[in-house]
Structure 1
């Protein structure tokens, strides 16, 4: 009697028998070591695609041919060897002619040994350590009792049976096969990348972009429109633009010829006074007719062939409406925004970002806080969004490492395969709602493939699943090979699959609670692996990323789940969606508080060399820090001491910081912040109190300067004039501080920047008033007098000169010091100031804030009259204006002044009075 027994099926049934659960619970240790065989092919395809996207076609053809020839040279000997072995194992009498009569093949039954019987003597399934062959394969072949012996031609097990994939990869045939597979994947990636690159460079659009030609094009929108941040350009605050990705379907040049194409471009719409509201409503797959000017992309090697700039177009011209799927997704997203309209500001902005990556409501201040704490990944469409939803179905990944069958599926009695199908349906819905952009497809692949592998109870499938996802995504979209987002997603997922379980187990061995150990290990592993890539982008290492991500983890899941529930119910029951959104607002508010609190800490991050050199340095330092941390865990008291030191370094209590760094110096009277090409000056008015004169161009820089100075209360902010390099940083001044009032010049030019100031002041309930010549004020030991502009006088000349000549000019007295702050006064206003009634008070000042960043436009008589002992110039390093002018610096030094400048000396603080006057540098 012949019996066939499949070893793999027996092993799977044994696993399910041990679990005692018909739904298929399994302990991951029953599946052996991690399977790394697909990792080299995935890495080879990734590297080849990144190289091949902008490589010449001839070079790519050579690469593909070399890879294919080399792979064939490795695989053909293996094929011949396999055929030769089969002929050697063929029974006697079968060579050259078939055997007479029917042959009977009987396979021996596999003797499965119950768990716990290892080491009790050789059995049919045991493996000999000498040659890897099982005991059954070395024993004489026997059939069933009473049957004659039969021959088993293919009874010998594979040479790597029982040794696992890692041992198999070390054997020469396996190495040759692995290298051949990597070469084949590299050839496929080179082919795919070459085709994508050639498609990008084909057609008339790249040539027209090099000519900066004006065209009329029909384009298909391929992404959600988004607003850029306002940016400082010289003295102006450039308005935001609407940016969207599109595909040119047809282009008409100036001579009237029309050419069909499929070229990806970046469309930039200068919104002007219209604000771009109609452009922001566009959905992907909408077709538009656009008239604009083509230009080459600013960065080569990107997935766009040109930039199409549209000037002040209020309403887009729609040629074809979006697809039904995109309209459905748009209705869902609009319903979520409507459901969150009544929430407080932070949850109202965060919930759409957490659920579907809609960050249109997030303010630059909140966005910067998320970046400072490395929480920005929560606001982008990533695998974590999908992971949370699938975890609700399948169970948390931390528990899945011990028992995969958790979550709602087993509680509802859903079988294993049906669970996988349901997970696939959820993944498809996620892609439809969040748009099938490359980032969404990447997130769906990296998030779904891992959790579905967990759902099948196969821990060894996790790494192969991730490698397969990387390989397929790179072959489908080679541009992902150059995407930092894709790199961070893969690194974070790999860290969660490899490092996090080990670190979690190590923490549990040291009596850390299991849930806390899993969360801490996941945050630390992802941060350790991703930090070098983040350094390339930001040149900064966050010291609060791990605790902030740990605190945020408890809020992300409930906010995302309730947000998705509100998204799903909004089209059918808006009151229910609003109630769900209110429930999600509490964890979303907690998340915003964590980001703001972490970013406000003085030592939240440390500067690090940027670029790949800085990344390589950090990658070398990280293992050393991890090794030192492991040793510290063996010494609780030393570990606690290091923890206290780290907390002090992050919090930086002002008294301790002043002792260690000497900044700010005790008794400082005036501090000039280093804010680049702009002005920001602080006048000391008591402990933790200061009057701020100008805010610089960057909110982050002025906020950091005020934090370093310990300023928490500001009775008055003086904005000398409305140029962007003096007012654009106002949100940073207002951030987390008590502000009494804002004083400005009477000339509201440029008008849009004056509106910017009033809008931010109104949002905080701060009064804005005009400064007038002759006005005198005092707070504590600090007093000041407004010298300019005179009331009712409107400066003449060009708009830029008029705004500069309207600068508020202050004469400040503090502890015996006389300080003259000139704003950006030009020579005509400086001469008028000398002729005014307060001219006598200008002589013999101690400190002069040089006008207009030390430009060449200075009145020599004013410099001689002021005769300052110290001249301070605020300017940016390598600025395009040549500030400060060498002639101005020479004139100040000729008058006996010591000249200091922020581009060379950094932030400065004036200390002392009389003969003891000196300057401290940060």
Structure 2
């Protein structure tokens, strides 16, 4: 609903801005021409005076479209033109639009929760809440696929990858319905991945509730077998799939990064992007380039109707005007291009917003009216929310609307101001566009990620010149591929050059310290950033005419890019200066830090993503890691290793005795060797100390043969740590059998102040270990809305029954433990990211 508020607020603001602009254009001139002045008393009426006056030549009519309308004036003897709408009228229209959208959304939500699928999901939710051990019953369903299936990356190698399919349930048993659902398939992945949108399939599924409130899907279905195709995809979808496959084939000969990025630039296909490149694009705020949006559609229509920047100066430019194509035929061709674009790129929220804006603009061209992009944006938002109310809950849609609105409102004024100060026009437009989009979208990005990217504007400026050539050439390759593979490959090869430049900008920008700077998350952090942005904008105007203060401001900005200050520590109390232990928020995984002195920490596990653990350690101001402990080799504990190694001195890496999964263990050895970091083996009984830290290894045994089973979780390194008078137990992912072994091998195991709960708080815990340790504080590192049900309700209840305070990263964000001794123990939260 918060995204809905953002979208509707944008609608209100843009409508009000449009009204103000129209009133400004309609304001009468101070000195009217003689022919428009009121006639003196007793003089001839204007229509008679015109016949007696000497004829005057008509002013030349502007070429390329209709003449610009004159300011609104009333001529004596003429019927007055309609006045532009007032702000009151605009506000009333906005409120009516909001009320209509709210009513439609309410009705759609009620309709989505009617029928057999929501009923089964509700029954399953009730069984879960009452701890009824009942597996959901498989039911026969017919589904119509609504989007391309995709495979997720499993959090651990031991887990099978999952194929996710967005669909509409059209029949459940003998009952017909139309219910949006999400289907998860752990088996028969190849069969599911081959499905195209509009395909109708039959499958038996288990129905579970949606993962979060307000989810557009009424339920999550889990397939129990392969799909049986009842109706093939439509002909347009088959053509679109052929074109998409042709572009991927044409890109196959490019270098890996360009091969992965080009389909993303052209059609939004990011399936080939490696995770580290995705992180680089996210860190530099270039991820919008791989999310097909209005920029892509603008480029597609550029040759036909000309750039939108000229919409206020001419009705049309581009190829249509050069060839003399009539306005109506131009509009028809534009509609055909827009429909093809949506079909090939898939109807994501940003694509639909861009298409709706484009169609409204094309309608204006076809009817001979002047293009007005701001009302087109408002109309597009309203139409899409009325057509598909859940789109208003999409943060991607909100970001798309905000970015487009900033380009239509702020960017022109900022560009004019820069040009007035001597900045070259092209550079002024690029600076204004990048700055306006960043200023308006920044607060919403903070809500989603609790971070700022200080390199976003320069990286977007550097990448922008390469986007249009890569996109145009990529579309040409896509169109040519069905007719000539060699020609398509040649076009893709040329497109690879600007694509590689974009990758270079992203990778080098992400390597700068200012790429990801922590910031308070949630709406309070967004409000703080919005206030700071307004203050900087006002201050920037005040410094515009003062060279020395302006130069000092530019120098401070440069220093912030190269060596940013730890903003969370300045704006919030996180991390506290006397922190002892920190649990990083890395999603579904573990990454822990034990303070070993100023700028130094022993790190335990790295989480699944290098960027997340790197950001956490930067927030903690950790530059030296005397020892990195990898409790075991599952991806959610070890895949973030490059993030710890990046820009830090790491003394050694200590691992478990079981090299499983073998591929992950081999990867860790390669990355450690490349960084010149030795690898050690942990063994029960080992004792170490660094600075104020002292710890004892409780598990694993010296050899893998002594483990209770073959599960890599049961080989996790478990540590008993003492620091600042506090005792901590870090249990890795140990299961009940290994936890029992730890108890048997450590009869002197004391009560602990802090317990890092094993295996993300899963339901498989040894109650005797919990009773022995009786933690005062239990910390759970877990990802939000994970599909494993972590943490288990019974585990949280058992910990609270023992008197423990339970904190978890999915709801509390990064957690820091500070203080000396049990009496001084305190926790400081950074806020959920």
- Whether contact under 8 Å (1:744, 1:808) holds in the other structure is no
Pair 1:203-2:112 in alignment? no
Aligned to 1:65: none
Aligned to 2:26: none
- Whether contact under 8 Å (1:673, 1:702) holds in the other structure is no
Of 369, 372, 375, 2:280 maps to 369
Of 258, 275, 278, 2:191 maps to 278
- Whether contact under 8 Å (1:267, 1:309) holds in the other structure is yes
Pair 1:771-2:771 in alignment? no
- Whether contact under 8 Å (2:419, 2:428) holds in the other structure is yes
Q: Residues 586-605 of structure 1: matches in 2 within 5 Å?
A: 586-603=497-514, 604-605=516-517
1:561–1:624 distance in 2 versus 1, CA, 3 Å: same
- Whether contact under 8 Å (2:210, 2:218) holds in the other structure is yes
1:316–1:763 distance in 2 versus 1, CA, 3 Å: farther
Pair 1:248-2:140 in alignment? no
Of 45, 65, 86, 1:169 maps to 86
Aligned to 2:64: none
1:605–1:719 distance in 2 versus 1, CA, 3 Å: closer
- Whether contact under 8 Å (2:566, 2:618) holds in the other structure is no
- Whether contact under 8 Å (2:284, 2:506) holds in the other structure is yes
Q: Residues 688-703 of structure 1: matches in 2 within 5 Å?
A: 694-696=605-607, 699-703=610-614
Of 241, 262, 270, 2:178 maps to 262
Pair 1:550-2:461 in alignment? yes
Aligned to 2:823: none
Q: Residues 879-890 of structure 1: matches in 2 within 5 Å?
A: none
Counterparts of 1:657 and 1:483, CA distance in 2: 27
Tell me whether 353-362 or 206-215 shows the greater mean CA deviation. Answer: 206-215
Question: What is the Cα deviation at residue 652 of structure 1?
Answer: 1.4
Counterparts of 2:766 and 2:715, CA distance in 1: 15
1:449–1:383 distance in 2 versus 1, CA, 3 Å: farther
Counterparts of 1:182 and 1:228, CA distance in 2: 40
> Aligned-residue CA RMSD in angstroms?
5.6
Aligned to 2:17: none
Question: What is the Cα deviation at residue 546 of structure 1?
Answer: 2.2
Of 142, 147, 150, 1:218 maps to 142
- Whether contact under 8 Å (2:672, 2:678) holds in the other structure is no
Aligned residue for 1:295, secondary structure, equals strand
Counterparts of 2:363 and 2:415, CA distance in 1: 22
Counterparts of 1:655 and 1:196, CA distance in 2: 45
The count of corresponding residues between Structure 1 and Structure 2 is: 730
Counterparts of 1:625 and 1:653, CA distance in 2: 17
Of 816, 825, 829, 1:906 maps to 816
Counterparts of 1:477 and 1:903, CA distance in 2: 32
- Whether contact under 8 Å (1:856, 1:887) holds in the other structure is no
Q: Residues 286-685 of structure 1: matches in 2 within 5 Å?
A: 286-311=199-224, 313=225, 315-398=226-309, 406-412=317-323, 414=325, 417-436=328-347, 439-447=350-358, 449-450=360-361, 461-603=372-514, 604-611=516-523, 613-652=524-563, 674=584, 678-680=590-592
1:828–1:537 distance in 2 versus 1, CA, 3 Å: closer
1:409–1:142 distance in 2 versus 1, CA, 3 Å: closer
1:179–1:395 distance in 2 versus 1, CA, 3 Å: closer
1:298–1:715 distance in 2 versus 1, CA, 3 Å: closer
Aligned residue for 2:216, secondary structure, equals coil
Aligned residue for 1:246, secondary structure, equals strand
Counterparts of 1:350 and 1:635, CA distance in 2: 43
The Cα offsets for residues 63-105 of structure 1, whole Å up to 9 and x where unpaired, read as xxxxxxxxxxxxxxxxxxxxxxxxxxxxxxxxxxxxxxxxxxx
Tell me whether 286-295 or 461-470 shows the greater mean CA deviation. Answer: 461-470
- Whether contact under 8 Å (1:404, 1:455) holds in the other structure is no
Q: Residues 132-143 of structure 1: matches in 2 within 5 Å?
A: none
The Cα offsets for residues 26-69 of structure 1, whole Å up to 9 and x where unpaired, read as xxxxxxxxxxxxxxxx969979xxxxxxxxxxxxxxxxxxxxxx
1:578–1:758 distance in 2 versus 1, CA, 3 Å: farther
Question: What is the Cα deviation at residue 217 of structure 1?
Answer: 0.4
- Whether contact under 8 Å (1:453, 1:465) holds in the other structure is no
1:368–1:156 distance in 2 versus 1, CA, 3 Å: farther
Question: What is the Cα deviation at residue 336 of structure 1?
Answer: 1.3
Question: What is the Cα deviation at residue 244 of structure 1?
Answer: 1.8
Aligned residue for 2:34, secondary structure, equals coil
The Cα offsets for residues 257-306 of structure 1, whole Å up to 9 and x where unpaired, read as x11222222212234xx6x2331221001111111112332334443332
Counterparts of 1:470 and 1:565, CA distance in 2: 30
Counterparts of 2:347 and 2:590, CA distance in 1: 43
- Whether contact under 8 Å (2:591, 2:613) holds in the other structure is no
1:407–1:645 distance in 2 versus 1, CA, 3 Å: same
Aligned to 1:122: 34
1:523–1:456 distance in 2 versus 1, CA, 3 Å: farther
Q: Residues 811-850 of structure 1: matches in 2 within 5 Å?
A: 824=732
TM-score (norm 1): 0.65
Aligned residue for 1:474, secondary structure, equals helix
1:664–1:582 distance in 2 versus 1, CA, 3 Å: farther
Aligned to 2:67: none
Counterparts of 2:519 and 2:304, CA distance in 1: 42
1:883–1:734 distance in 2 versus 1, CA, 3 Å: farther
The Cα offsets for residues 646-670 of structure 1, whole Å up to 9 and x where unpaired, read as 222232179999999999999x9x9
1:681–1:476 distance in 2 versus 1, CA, 3 Å: closer
Aligned residue for 2:233, secondary structure, equals coil
Aligned residue for 2:222, secondary structure, equals strand
Question: What is the Cα deviation at residue 872 of structure 1?
Answer: 13
The Cα offsets for residues 835-889 of structure 1, whole Å up to 9 and x where unpaired, read as 9xxx9xx9xxxxx9989779999999x99xxxxxxx9998659977569989999
The Cα offsets for residues 689-721 of structure 1, whole Å up to 9 and x where unpaired, read as 998653245543422245568889999965232
Aligned to 1:80: none
Question: What is the Cα deviation at residue 368 of structure 1?
Answer: 3.1
1:486–1:330 distance in 2 versus 1, CA, 3 Å: same
Counterparts of 1:903 and 1:120, CA distance in 2: 64
Counterparts of 2:633 and 2:699, CA distance in 1: 15
Aligned residue for 2:172, secondary structure, equals strand
Question: What is the Cα deviation at residue 218 of structure 1?
Answer: 0.8
- Whether contact under 8 Å (1:387, 1:451) holds in the other structure is no
1:362–1:757 distance in 2 versus 1, CA, 3 Å: farther
Which stretches in structure 2 are left out of the alignment for 5+ residues?
Answer: 1-6, 13-28, 54-74, 125-136, 783-789, 805-811, 821-828
